[in-house]
Amino acid sequence: MKTILITGCSSGYGLETARHFHAKGWNVIATMRTPRAGILPPSPRLRVLPLDVTQPDSIARTLDVAGPIDVLVNNAGLGLFGAFEATPMATVREIFETNTFGTLAMTQAVLPQFRSRRAGLVINITSSATLAPMPLVAAYTASKTAVEGFTASLAFELAAFDVRVKLIEPGYAPSTRFTANGTERMQGLIPEAYAPLARDIFATLGQPAAVTSELDVAEAVWLAANDASPRLRYAAGADAVALAGQREGRDSALVL
């Protein structure tokens, strides 16, 4: 029976992924900054542990309690919407600390056990913003694009040890708490000069042709976790799948 450790399980993708893998019979270690009672059903195959991916001591404690794992899912992340011109660099650093450095730190912490066993899988959650960049999410997109480059390089680096690394690229998911979780952080980030642009974007987001659900992401993680092929990227959600197809078309055109 395999064990998966998932970061950022308090809501959204992480919570649904924990439920999905538990339902499939895996041992699940669901982590979050502040564990909440009742968020997941009691089960001998499921543990909820505290974890702040920006704190080395927290990472070390959690992995020590968790014991050996087979799959790490780096899902913990912060959202940010606003004009880059108005975004304090302290806020940009906060986004990178969780989205980028948190992912790197968790990955680095589990690699010794994976390498020594010559087995293990790291799955990093990014965003369709890396497939089709959009305005007013520049810092957020930068934090996720950095993870994409890191993951692609690391996959080559770890292949010699039979350790695999994969990417999940979710689309736009209005049912998650992406905006709600960052409301305070986003205050004042839309100056008057950017207001018309922001209104246009919100109008577009309010009438999407296709969206991504939490289950779409959980199923993509499940596919990646059980795919022994060297495939690196897995789009999650109809909108992300469409964007990934466009990217492949552009890449093919460049080759030709």
The residues assigned a catalytic role are 140
For residues 101 and 77, the answer to whether their CB atoms sit within 8 Å is: no
Strands 164-170 and 46-50: unpaired
**Total H helices, total E strands in the chain:** 8, 7
How does 183-210 read in b/e, with b if 16+ C-beta sit within 10 Å? Answer: eebbeebbeeebeeebeebeeeeeeeee
Rounded-to-integer distance, Cα 153 and Cα 203, Å: 37
Q: What are the Cα distances from residue 198, in Å, to 127, 201, 240?
A: 20, 5, 22
142 CB-near residues (< 8 Å, 6+ apart): 96
